[in-house]
Structure 1
Amino acid sequence: MENRTYTADAEPGESVTVAGWVHEIRDLGGIAFLILRDTTGKIQIKFEKDEMDDDLVETGLNVARESVISATGAVEEEPRAPTGVEITPDAVEVVAEADTELPLDPSGKVDAELSTRLDNRTLDLRKEEVQAIFAIRAEIQHAAREQFRELDCTEINTPKIVATGTEGGTELFPITYFGEEAFMNQSPQLFKQLIAGSNVERVFEIGPIFRAEEHNTPRHLNEATSIDFEGAFCDQHEAMDVAEAVVTAAYEAVNENCAEELDALGLAEEFEVPTGEFPRLSYEEAIE
């Protein structure tokens, strides 16, 4: 959208156009407030009914929650507003109107069953705590990639449709591949070994894996994201050094860049970056 300003960047004294989702509407009689939400936060839009055009007020206050709108107007300081500023609109446009009856409450004030959340994932993803998970996940992957690159690793992307399994002890998802039997890959193990042994030496992949394992918990391996490393001329200690560096880098990045997300998930106080060397056990010690 041309000339759009994110809510977090709206400064007093400016005339801006903001766009996002209608988070909440509070009608107090002669004055009403619409809270607009975008990816950077929220901003208050003020409607003084007796001083504004009736059509403008009707457009802004009759729109359903979670509708997409844009609003243009002057930004003013307002200490009582959620972010310390508010917009007095000159124009409001409804870009996409939402149903008045939503299947779940994106604000999270009313809980919904898991099946309802999954059936209406677009709405569910608008919750602050759900978006926090995506932000932390993205930060982990970014930090892992940066650490692998510092360790002179080359990122690879291996096939996910294969003719045979690469690991024993796990069930495979069978598929039909142009009339032939094939499977969803449960690990990049064989491919990364081939590439590491082809003079590339150190490789890593962050990608999906598929395992046909029955489960009865919210954590399972049917479809997961795996962080894999393979290195030529690496013994077990060097491989553990790499794994330790990547895990530590991920924790450090989340600690530095995801404070708001950790708070949204109620993890801010208990989250700690690992310090010191990780304990290492031999195979015999682990078995014992």
Structure 2
Amino acid sequence: HIIVPFIPHLYNHEKLVCLGKEGETTVVFKLVDPEERLLKEFQEPTEIPVNPEVETQPSHVELPRVSKGLFDEILGHDDLKTVIVNALNSPRSVNILLVGPPASAKSLFLEAISRCPGAVYTFGESTSKAGLAQLLIDKKPRILIIDEFHNMAREDMAILLGLADGKVVRTKADQTANLQLDTKVFAAANRLKNIPEEVLSRFLKFELPHYTPKQFRQVVIHVLRIEGVETQLAEYIADRMIEAKVMDPRQAKYLSRIAKTPSMVDLIISRLKHPD
């Protein structure tokens, strides 16, 4: 007989499991069949330093290699797809900035990259200096994705200066925590005007221009066919959006989810707010 008065008892068929807590140490007893011996395991809680001088990213786990199939939803840009795939598969960190007007496939590239293991997606305008540092410290991402990078405040971008060199420094309440990271950054911006040169120098920059009407038609049909839209209706949507000068593949995708006939396409496009 074993008497453990301070431990609650849970019975499960022939098994008796006793759980107890002594100070900061959890003690687990297992009583099984009579032929088996009594097991006693000590599980000590992990101590997390309040103010570590240097933290490191978890040891590298071999991630699956990325192929160009990651970007199957994006029509064209084959050369850029090759560059990004090589960057994702590189054993060393690298930063890439996609620059171009809205509706130029920048966000489509970022959304595809966000499906990679270890990726964290954020927006430039939604970050703050403390928030971005905390995100990096908490998540320790292998890949950091920043959409609308041009909207990030300059003081927030200072964190990326250190990150490009593999370091994140957080100062709080007169205490400093240093974090060693191996993080690749993929960002997208509509313009470079408000981004400091010292930040731009940390990125390889690639420009994505406006679609021509011919390119836009091909892209929309391609995207809508992936969405399951019949070819004839996809072509009609593309042509009507070109006529309306709404050259945004995402708008076409959203429209196709509502409009299942040409008449409904006409109704929606007639009420769309056209770009100035």
The normalised TM-score by structure 1 is 0.21
> Quick one: higher RCO (CA 8 Å, sep 6+), 1 or 2?
2
- Structure with bigger helix share is 2
Structure of greater Rg: 2
- Structure with bigger strand share is 1
